[in-house]
Amino acid sequence: IAVAFLMSTLCYERLVSGLLDREDVHTQALLERAGRVTADSESMTTQQARRNWILAITSLIALAGISNTMLLGITERFREIGTMKCLGAPDRLIVRLFFIETFLLGGFAALIGLISGFILSVLQFAAVLEIDLHGIGAYAFAFLQSAPIAFVGGTVLTILAALYPAQVASRMRPAEALRSEI
């Protein structure tokens, strides 16, 4: 969700900033009606601050959700973790396994977020500004500019969310893990 929101916001802003450079009266009227052109720089700063807060809150919610999911995965695999530890697996290996799993899941989720965020931004751009979707060049350029930022942001977010669950898994005592009935 956080990646889709970030991607949508970045693409939409890049598309609108491309239109702001146009001198076309019709385009400027559309931007004014959509609330994108204001003479007041304080208003633009307030809008940007509001978007940043919403993005931060969305990221925190995603962070909590990912951590919760990883903790659930640990509780479902108590016995497997206990068996690995009994066979001599070091804590580093268990942490590494959870990071690899989180990285793969986060990368896949980030790709889905990129695609859905791009689609949402194009639809929002077309609906709010009443511009047809012909001429894919501007959309592709906005996607190529925004995709690396959103993908890296989403992947880093998932890795940060896995820190605590991976530590919980690595500190598990083998005997307790094997005795658990979950």
pTM above 0.85, yes or no: no
| Whole-angstrom distance, CA of residue 158 vs CA of residue 160 | 5
- Secondary structure (DSSP) of 10-63: HHHHHHHHHHHT---HHHHHHHHHTT---S-HHHHHHHHHHHHHHHHHHHHHHH
- 33 within 8 A of 18, measured Cβ to Cβ: no
Neighbours of 78 (CB within 10 A): 18
pLDDT digits (tens, 9 = 90+) for 7-33: 888 877 777 777 666 667 776 777 676
Q: Which pLDDT does position 15 carry in this prediction?
A: 73
* Residue 37 CA neighbour count, 13 Å, CB half: 18
| Whole-angstrom distance, CA of residue 152 vs CA of residue 104 | 13
pLDDT digits (tens, 9 = 90+) for 110-161: 888 888 888 888 787 777 666 665 555 666 777 788 888 888 888 888 889 9
DSSP state of 133: S
| One-letter amino acid of 107 | G
- 157 within 8 A of 56, measured Cβ to Cβ: no
